[in-house]
């Protein structure tokens, strides 16, 4: 397998990982088991078709058993056993979980919460990315590990720490406060500039010295949203600095080994700007866990996978963790339904993953995650999970030629920006219970129901070649984006903007003159007031085509300039006023969705936009069948995933061979199954080109 990321491409570097096909495996924590189990594990891994495991993720305390006293003996033996069985190693720097002796000797390495309470021992992460003491210990560990395994033939990839920011997102302690002050001062060289940017005359919070700047510690009312937004930016930066420090040690000692760190792109309100982080990795990897109580969890998964690919600029990426069965952190932890493990795994591959890995290989008997599933459950290999894991290993082997193929460039693009998420979450809006994710996910799902190839990309990415660009809840928008979207529409592109987009500028200040400030001209309208609907309150709207739909959550009083109404309210205070509009812009259009529609209605509306944009779906199939296309130089590989409990008809319009069953595809997709359909490559199978993210 060849690893080439956008970032490593720019360094003129690619890495050859000596493992064929799609990587298959998971986190392996042999320190929890006896050497006899290690040998049994390696044989079971072979049986399951496992090709790679991640070692060392939480092993600092078993590798550095006391300050500067290292024991690599047990890990050497594990490396040896795995290598003898042909299993490659992703080696994690074990810095996610500091050892007990370190927390005892230097408790100030731990984060402090907003109320001043310091994190104790017993969890993981929990340390402060701004702690220089922690950094020193961590880098010594990394240096020793890298030096020890530098030339081991089983080592194929470095995995820096684990989910940086997951349990050490915000630190309100003194060392972090000092680092924050320096960061603020570097951004705003004078207090006057800082006061202007943060609008500190509100409540008379004017700073007279940088020494007065603190993290948003406990206060009895909400903080200034501009401070919160910058604290998010700082936190992402501080975590990234820690990653970079570890990465640079690894790069110096083993320049031939690629480096990644596992992202959590769907962590709500995440503290990491992964689009920026990705630039610093050799390959993007992501962890994903479905929420068992969500009946549409496969749609959230698809969004996650598309977003990860967008962050990777279209290059193949690695699914570093997901669960073989239930997790142990959702209260009621649903087991997976029959076939769900396979559908979930292949849905990630369908959207660009070249690795399918789990947390974890063997389910723990002890410790905080003892009831989290593993590939080998407590029951052992004679279990439904291990049988499905083994079957999946065979399937991945059968479709191995897909590895390296890129997804065809999408016809639609959906813009996502972490800065907008932070701004959206940092202020009190007229309806604070509207989650940021809801609108992007709903629009992404609607496009998928129509089998439209969709990319989730940064607002700075190149828009050329897309027929439809969707801008959902992009609360913070740079003025140049409006200009680029206008130029894109003038040249024949089609844009859809949802409410709560373009409301604030880069500093978090409202763009004045009517909503949605940044996009008023593009959309040919303005709103002078928001009218959020109360919970469970709905209003009927009627489209120009005569359909009656139901609006919920949000309404606004819109005054049209050049835009025309596509749907308007049939009753209530806004009766007769537009809810959805369309504005002709040059050879294209810019539409505005100022309310929330039900899923089927949104499908209908998005269907209208697809028609306007002249998009050809990837296939003809029911809305619950997921279709994607990966393309190599010679072939297209269509993934068809049937989320229905009945068989479905899928028509690609050309003959295809199903790599999963090893037979010609007759158009019938069995209930709950996945087909990987190989065809000759068609002309329009252009791939998303690697582009540089503007600084
Ligand atoms: C991840 C973490 C793993 C494991 C897993 C459980 O966030 O990286 O180590 O704890 O969650 O779902």
pLDDT (mean) for 440-458: 98
Q: Whose CA is nearest to atom 11 of ligand 1?
A: 359
pLDDT at 693: 35
pLDDT (mean) for 391-407: 97
Q: Among the atoms of ligand 1, which is closest to the Cα of residue 369?
A: 10
pLDDT (mean) for 591-606: 98
Q: Whose CA is nearest to atom 12 of ligand 1?
A: 327
Could you tell me if residue 605 is inside a domain? yes
pLDDT at 690: 34
pLDDT at 314: 95
Contact 316, 42 (CB under 8 A): no
Round the average pLDDT of the chain to a whole number and report it. 96
Could you tell me if residue 405 is inside a domain? no
Binned at pLDDT 50, 70 and 90, residue 131 comes out as very high
Could you tell me if residue 181 is inside a domain? no
Residue where one domain finishes, among candidates 613, 646, 666: 613
pTM of the entire predicted model: 0.97
Residue where one domain finishes, among candidates 374, 400, 426: 400
Binned at pLDDT 50, 70 and 90, residue 277 comes out as very high
Please name the helix (run of DSSP H) or strand (run of DSSP E) that holds residue 676, with its range, or none: strand 674-680
Domain match, 239 and 338 both: yes
DSSP for residue 30: G
Domain match, 6 and 49 both: yes
Distance CA(262)–CA(292), nearest Å, equals: 22
CA distances from 536 to 344, 573, 597, 623, 676 (A): 33, 17, 13, 27, 42
Q: How many Å lie between the centroid of ligand 1 and the Cα of residue 369?
A: 9
Whether 683 sits among the annotated catalytic residues: the reply is: no
Could you tell me if residue 433 is inside a domain? yes
Q: How many Å lie between the centroid of ligand 1 and the Cα of residue 90?
A: 16
Q: How many Å lie between the centroid of ligand 1 and the Cα of residue 77?
A: 25
Residue to probe by mutation, ligand 1, list 125, 165, 359, most atoms within 8 Å of CB: 359
Q: Among the atoms of ligand 1, which is closest to the Cα of residue 166?
A: 7
- Pocket lined around ligand 1, Cβ cut-off 6 Å: 162-163, 166, 287, 289, 321, 327, 359, 369, 372
Q: How many Å lie between the centroid of ligand 1 and the Cα of residue 293?
A: 18
CATH code of the domain in which 583 resides: 3.40.50.880
pLDDT at 684: 61
Q: Whose CA is nearest to atom 4 of ligand 1?
A: 359
Q: How many Å lie between the centroid of ligand 1 and the Cα of residue 166?
A: 9
Q: How many Å lie between the centroid of ligand 1 and the Cα of residue 289?
A: 9
Could you tell me if residue 294 is inside a domain? yes
Could you tell me if residue 685 is inside a domain? no
Strand partners, 663: 658
pLDDT (mean) for 34-61: 98
pLDDT at 669: 98
Q: Whose CA is nearest to atom 3 of ligand 1?
A: 359
Q: How many Å lie between the centroid of ligand 1 and the Cα of residue 347?
A: 20
Residue among 587, 623, 595, 588 nearest 609 (CA): 588
Distance CA(187)–CA(399), nearest Å, equals: 49
pLDDT (mean) for 148-162: 98
Whether 279 sits among the annotated catalytic residues: the reply is: no
The domain tally of the chain equals: 3
Domain match, 460 and 601 both: yes
C-alpha 303: how far from chain center: 8
Domain match, 631 and 668 both: yes
477, burial (CB in 10 Å: exposed 0-12, middle 13-18, buried 19+): buried
Residue where one domain finishes, among candidates 613, 647, 664: 613
pLDDT 10s digits, 546-560: 999 999 999 999 999
Q: How many Å lie between the centroid of ligand 1 and the Cα of residue 162?
A: 9
Domain match, 124 and 39 both: yes
Could you tell me if residue 197 is inside a domain? no
Domain match, 371 and 483 both: no
For the cut 50, the answer to whether the pLDDT of residue 397 exceeds it is yes
Binned at pLDDT 50, 70 and 90, residue 5 comes out as confident
Q: Whose CA is nearest to atom 5 of ligand 1?
A: 359
pLDDT (mean) for 642-667: 98
Catalytic: which of 163, 175, 279, 300? 163
Q: What is the DSSP string of 596-614?
A: B--HHHHHHHHHHHHHHHT
Residue among 98, 87, 97, 95 nearest 144 (CA): 95
Q: How many Å lie between the centroid of ligand 1 and the Cα of residue 359?
A: 6
Domain match, 420 and 392 both: no
Helix (H, G, I), strand (E, B) or coil at 350: helix
Q: How many Å lie between the centroid of ligand 1 and the Cα of residue 76?
A: 25
Q: Among the atoms of ligand 1, which is closest to the Cα of residue 262?
A: 8
Calculate the CA dihedral of residues 50, 54, 55, 58 and round it to 10 degrees: -140
Domain range for 649 is: 625-680
pLDDT (mean) for 14-35: 96
The Cβ-side half-sphere exposure at 204, using a 13 Å CA radius, reads 0
Domain match, 467 and 523 both: yes
pLDDT 10s digits, 76-130: 999 999 999 999 999 999 999 999 999 999 999 999 999 999 999 999 999 999 9
Contact 8, 260 (CB under 8 A): no
Q: Whose CA is nearest to atom 7 of ligand 1?
A: 163
Calculate the CA dihedral of residues 55, 61, 63, 66 and round it to 10 degrees: 170
Domain match, 152 and 27 both: yes
pLDDT 10s digits, 492-533: 999 999 999 999 999 999 999 999 999 999 999 999 999 999
pLDDT (mean) for 36-61: 98
Please name the helix (run of DSSP H) or strand (run of DSSP E) that holds residue 301, with its range, or none: helix 297-311
Binned at pLDDT 50, 70 and 90, residue 135 comes out as very high
Domain match, 447 and 577 both: yes
Domain match, 34 and 119 both: yes
Could you tell me if residue 666 is inside a domain? yes
pLDDT at 688: 36
Catalytic: which of 64, 279, 300, 321? 321
Q: What percent of the chain has pLDDT over 70?
A: 98
Distance CA(258)–CA(683), nearest Å, equals: 34
CATH code of the domain in which 666 resides: 2.60.40.1180
Residue to probe by mutation, ligand 1, list 268, 287, 329, most atoms within 8 Å of CB: 287
Binned at pLDDT 50, 70 and 90, residue 6 comes out as confident
Calculate the CA dihedral of residues 433, 439, 440, 446 and round it to 10 degrees: 150
pLDDT 10s digits, 197-241: 999 999 999 999 999 999 999 999 999 999 999 999 999 999 999
Domain match, 440 and 461 both: yes
pLDDT at 269: 76
């Amino acid at each position: 397998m060849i690893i080439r990321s956008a970032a490593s491409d720019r360094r003129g570097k690619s890495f050859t990982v000596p493992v064929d096909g799609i990587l298959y495996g998971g986190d392996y924590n042999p320190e929890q088991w006896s050497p006899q189990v290690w040998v049994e594990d390696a044989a079971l891994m072979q049986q399951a078709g496992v090709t790679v495991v991640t070692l060392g993720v939480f092993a600092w305390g078993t590798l550095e058993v006391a300050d500067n006293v290292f024991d690599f003996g047990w890990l050497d033996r594990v490396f040896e056993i795995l290598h003898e069985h042909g299993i490659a190693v992703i080696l994690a720097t074990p810095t996610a979980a500091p050892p007990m002796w370190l927390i005892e000797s230097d408790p100030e390495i731990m984060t402090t919460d907003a109320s001043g309470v310091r994190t104790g021992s017993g969890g993981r992460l929990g340390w402060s990315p701004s702690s220089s003491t922690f950094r020193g210990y961590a880098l010594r560990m990394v240096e020793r590990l890298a030096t020890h395994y530098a030339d081991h033939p089983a080592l194929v990839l470095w995995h820096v720490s684990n989910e940086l920011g997951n349990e050490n997102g915000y630190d309100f302690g003194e060392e972090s406060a000092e680092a924050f002050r320096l960061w603020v001062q570097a951004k705003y060289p004078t207090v006057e500039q800082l006061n202007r940017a943060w609008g500190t005359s509100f409540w008379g919070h004017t700073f007279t010295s940088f020494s007065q700047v603190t993290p948003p510690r406990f206060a009895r009312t909400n903080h200034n949203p501009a401070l919160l937004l910058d604290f998010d930016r700082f936190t992402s930066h501080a975590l990234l600095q820690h990653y970079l420090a570890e990465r640079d040690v690894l790069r110096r000692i083993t320049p031939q080994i690629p480096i990644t760190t596992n992202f959590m792109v769907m962590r709500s309100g995440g503290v990491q700007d992964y689009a920026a982080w990705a630039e610093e990795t050799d390959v993007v990897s992501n962890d994903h866990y479905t929420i068992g109580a969500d009946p549409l969890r496969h749609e959230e998964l698809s969004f996650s996978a598309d977003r990860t690919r967008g962050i990777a600029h279209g290059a193949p990426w690695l699914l570093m963790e997901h669960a073989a069965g239930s997790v142990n952190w959702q209260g009621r932890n649903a087991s997976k339904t029959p076939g769900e493990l396979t559908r979930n795994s292949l849905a990630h591959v369908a959207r660009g993953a070249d690795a399918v890995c789990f947390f974890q290989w063997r389910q723990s008997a002890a410790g905080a995650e003892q009831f989290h599933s593993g590939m080998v459950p407590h029951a052992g290999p004679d279990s439904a999970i291990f049988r499905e894991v083994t079957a999946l290993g065979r399937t991945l082997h059968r479709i191995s030629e897909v590895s390296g193929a890129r997804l065809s460039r999408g016809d639609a693009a959906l813009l996502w920006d972490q800065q907008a998420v932070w701004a959206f979450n940092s202020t009190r809006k007229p309806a604070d219970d509207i989650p940021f994710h809801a609108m992007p996910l709903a629009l992404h799902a609607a496009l998928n129901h129509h089998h439209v190839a969709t990319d989730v990309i940064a607002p700075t990415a190149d828009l050329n070649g897309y027929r439809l660009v969707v801008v959902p809840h992009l609360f913070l928008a740079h003025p140049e984006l409006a200009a680029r979207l206008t130029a894109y529409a003038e040249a024949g592109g089609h844009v859809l903007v949802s409410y709560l987009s373009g409301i604030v500028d880069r500093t978090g200040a409202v763009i004045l003159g009517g909503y949605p400030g940044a996009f008023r001209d593009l959309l040919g309208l303005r709103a002078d007031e928001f009218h959020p609907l109360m919970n469970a309150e709905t209003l009927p709207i009627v489209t120009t085509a005569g359909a009656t739909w139901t609006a919920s959550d949000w309404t606004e009083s819109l005054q049209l300039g050049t835009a025309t109404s596509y749907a308007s309210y049939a009753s209530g205070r806004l009766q007769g006023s537009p809810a959805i509009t369309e504005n002709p812009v040059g050879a294209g259009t810019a539409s505005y969705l100022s309310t929330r529609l039900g899923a089927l209605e949104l499908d209908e509306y998005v269907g209208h936009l697809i028609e306007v944009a002249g998009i050809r779906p990837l296939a003809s199939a029911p809305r619950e069948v997921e279709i994607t296309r990966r393309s190599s130089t010679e072939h297209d590989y269509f993934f068809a995933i049937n989320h229905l409990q009945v068989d479905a008809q899928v028509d690609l319009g050309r003959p295809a061979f199903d790599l999963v069953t090893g037979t010609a595809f007759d158009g019938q997709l069995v209930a709950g199954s996945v087909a990987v359909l190989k065809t000759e490559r068609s002309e329009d199978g252009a791939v998303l080109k690697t582009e540089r993210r503007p600084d």
